[in-house]
Each structure stands twice: as C-alpha cells, then as structure tokens.
Chains A and B, each alone.
Chain A
Amino acid sequence: MDQLRNKKPVPWQRACHECDLLLTGGLAPAGQKLVCPRCRCTLHRNGNHSVYYTIALSLTGLFLFIPSASLPLLKFSIFSFGAENTLLNGVYSLYKAGFIWLASLVLFCSVLAPLGKFLLLLFICCGSAWRVLDRAVANAVRWYQHIKEWGMLDVYMLGILVALIKLRDLGKMDVEPGLYCFGAMMVLANLSSLSFDQHAIWQRMAQRPTRPEAAT
C-alpha cells in the first residue's frame, strides 16, 4: 500500500472487464482489435466506419423484419389439410394451449429482442449526432448490452431446419418466401451486432464541439 501511494500516477486508460488488469492503451487502432494480454479477451474491435455500417445494416434488417414477420415461413400439409407457420402464430398457439411462460419466452427471443436490437442500434448510431439525445443514447447503449444475448434469430433458424427435417416423413413440407427474408434478417442481425462498436459512438459524442457552458 505504501509502495502504491508513493508511486506517481500512471495514466491508466482501461481495465479489462474480464480480468481487471489495468492497461495503458485504451483503444485499438483502426481496423484492428485490442486483446487483453493476460486473459486474451477482446477488449475493443475497431472496425472501419462502424457507425455507418451499423446504420445501413440495422435499417435493412428493420425493413426485412416486415416481410419475415408477416409472411409465412413454412407450410405443412397432410392430404388436403395444410397449416402455415409465421413468426407469431407459433407463439399464439402456445399461448392458446396455456403455455404462457413458454410463449412469452419464444416471443421475446425471436421477435421482441431482435426487433429491439435493430431499433436500438439504429437509434444509437443516428441519435449520437445530436447533443439533445446524449442521455437517451447512453441509456440505449446500456439497454442494448442487456438484450444483446437474448436475440436468438440464429437459434430460431436452426429450429426451423430441425422442424423441417423432423416433419419430412409425416407430410409435405414447403418452404415459403418468408423464410428467405427471415434468413437474410438473421444474417443482418449478426452482421449489425458485429459491426457495432460502442467506442465509436462515445468518440463521436465526445468529439462534437464542446458546450458553451462548462461541464459540471
């Protein structure tokens, strides 16, 4: 402790969030990533034009959300009876059968969280241009961190594939146009969360001309 107190302050920039190691380098150079020397966790991935890529990807994802939520994904028929699956009617059937907890979990992970991720990313990247929205953008970043891992479009896609194969010998299974939109949306969801770099947002917010009055 004495040794610590007598030491000159070191310009620490960052602490690894997984092993608490103090580091003097804060951000990765453009196009590269910063890795913790002790625990090898990726601290920062500095993609090129992260903000603009994320805007483009999440906007496209949002547009694709409309057909993939409204068009049927799969169609299954035995003899002349047929039924279709959309993103929402599976949830509705579960809800009708009394599995409310299951229905809400599926609804959250396959519809609400992915939609929320797209909306939050779009809001964060566009909103960081205006000072009025600073507080809201900061909150949005926090929320994004919370719901990030609950968006499970890729898992849902695998579920579709398993269902497709499982029902193959029971009846006739058709792939509907909604599934292609859904697949594209899944790819976009992953790409947009990959390209999103929150440090680019913080930098963008910090690099605006300073307020006329001093910060408190």
Chain B
Amino acid sequence: MSTPQKALKNGLSSCLSCHQLIILPARGGRCRCPRCDSRVHGRIDGSLMLTWALTITGVLLLLPANVLPIMSVIYLGAGEPSTIISGVMQLYNSGMWGIALVVFVASIAVPVMKLLGLVLLLVQIQLRLHFVPSQAMKIYRVVSGIGRWSLLDLFMISILVALVDMGFIAQVAAGPGSTAFASVVVVTMMAARSFDPRLIWDAYDGDLYATAVEPETAHRGAAENG
C-alpha cells in the first residue's frame, strides 16, 4: 500500500474538467464524464505530438513577431515603425526602466521562456532523461500560468490605436508583427493546454505510453465484445 498507485493502471481516470474519478471502459479507455459530459481519456490523446506541433509553430512564429514592426507612432508626419525590442529600448532610453522591464518580461522573456520550457519538458519525457519530476512540474506550472501575460503588448496596441488617432498630428498604427505575436501567444497557450502533466510522472515511473488495459485484459474484453 505504501507504493503510490496510479489511476490509469487501475483502470481509473480523473475527469480533467470536474475532477470526478471515473472507471474507464475496458477497451479504448475513453468515455464521457457522467457528471459534466466532457471527454475523459486516460491521457490526453496525442498530447506529446500536439504539444510538439504547437511549440514548433510558436517558435517559427516568434521570428516574424520579433522582426516585423508591431506598431508605428507617427507624430507630425514623422515616425518610424517599432518592433517589440525597439519599443522596450525606447522606454528604457527615456528613463522608464521599470515599465521597460515589465514590457520586456511580458513580451520577450515570457514567450521565449515558455517555448523553452515546453521543449525541455517534451525532450525530458521523450528521451527519458533523468529528471526530478517535482522540478518538471514546477516548469509546467510556470509555463501554463504565465502565458496570458504576454498579451499585454497587444492590449496596449489596441488602446494606443484608439487613443492616438488625430490624423496628421499623431497616429498610431498596428503593424504586421502584432498579428504574428498574437498568434505566438495563442499557440503557446494552446500548447500548454494540450500538454498532459501526467506524462511527466509516467516517464518518471518508467512506463511511458502506459495503457489502461494490460494485453491479456484487452484480449478478454475483445472476446466479450465480439
């Protein structure tokens, strides 16, 4: 009794939405939660593959997001488009290093750290490296918790675009980089959602891709059904 028991090995699973403990059906290991009607699976289907796909998309999108201008402030007919980094530098140069730090953390550090964290988790699990699961869980929680803060820059752009709209005197226009940046944020948030932290513990226990049903039981289930 002292060894920790895993739900999936016992044919049980927790509903991710309402946390009800559910007996998984013998075959397939997939059903609907009787209480809240959301899909229940032993592990999220294709979690690693989906997370990889979204993470790689995020990395690719990060390039245009940082290279293309996210907005341009035109003051008295003059003004150049600014990228995320140049916006931070501008704030820093005008002496507002506190705000510069906030913007830097939210729009550069957070997306990069998030993608790095996801890649680290995925690599750890797939290569079965030696890792401390409690540390991996910390990475997972940080990754899934901080993502939303990177939308800060986009909200700021939407506020500036509405506020500074005086024709020739001053105008703020959003740039193509902001679309890419918005996609980075959405894609990384979805990647964090599709990652199943229970796989960390599966990899730690040494039974990755653990199935709810042992081969013999599966066979028996098939015989009963057929």
Complex CA gap A159/B14 in Å reads 37
Q: Which of A59-67, A81-89, A115-123, A184-192 contacts B (4 or more CB under 8 A)?
A: A81-89
Contacts of A55 in B (CB 8 A): none
In angstroms, Cα B177 to Cα A101, docked, is 12
A14-B21, A18-B197, A105-B186 known; A155+B37 contact, CB < 8 A: no
> Are the CB atoms of A15 and B13 closer together than 8 Å?
yes
Residues in B76-94 with C-beta less than 8 Å from chain A: 91, 94
Instruction: Give the total of B residues in contact with A, Cβ under 8 Å.
Output: 69
Q: Contact: A110 with B155, CB < 8 Å? A: yes
- Looking at chain B's contact residues, the main secondary structure is helix
Is A56 an interface residue, CB under 8 A from the partner? Answer: no
> CB-CB < 8 A to A138: which residues of B?
18, 35-37
Q: A141 touching B17 by the CB < 8 A rule? A: yes
- Decide: B99 and A162 in contact? CB cutoff 8 A: yes
Complex formed: what's the CA distance from A191 to B164 in Å?
33
With CB as the reference atom, state the residue of chain A lying closest to B42: A20
Q: A32 at the A/B interface (Cβ < 8 Å)?
A: no
* Contact digits for A158-174, partner B, Cβ 8 Å, 1 yes 0 no: 11101101110111000
Residues in B whose Cβ lies below 8 Å from that of A141: 17-18, 36
A22-B102 Cα distance, complex, nearest whole Å: 41
Q: Which of B13, B99, B169 contacts A81 (CB 8 A)?
A: B169
| A99 touching B14, Cβ below 8 Å | no
* Size class of the A contact interface (CB-based, 8 Å): 35 or more
Given A14-B14, A93-B162, A145-B17: A139 touches B37 (CB 8 Å cut-off): yes
Is the CB–CB distance between B18 and A16 below 8 Å?
Answer: no
* B173 and A165 form a contact (CB under 8 A): no
Instruction: Evaluate contact between A202 and B35: CB separation under 8 angstroms.
Output: yes
- B201, A159: Cβ atoms under 8 Å? no
- Flag if A89 contacts B36 (CB, 8 Å): no
Q: Which of B8, B14, B155 contacts A155 (CB 8 A)?
A: B155
Which A positions have Cβ atoms within 8 angstroms of B? 1, 4, 10, 12-22, 38-41, 43-44, 73-74, 76, 78-79, 81, 83-86, 89-94, 97, 99, 101-103, 105-106, 109-110, 135, 138-139, 141-142, 145, 149-150, 152, 155-156, 158-160, 162-163, 165-167, 169-171, 198-199, 202
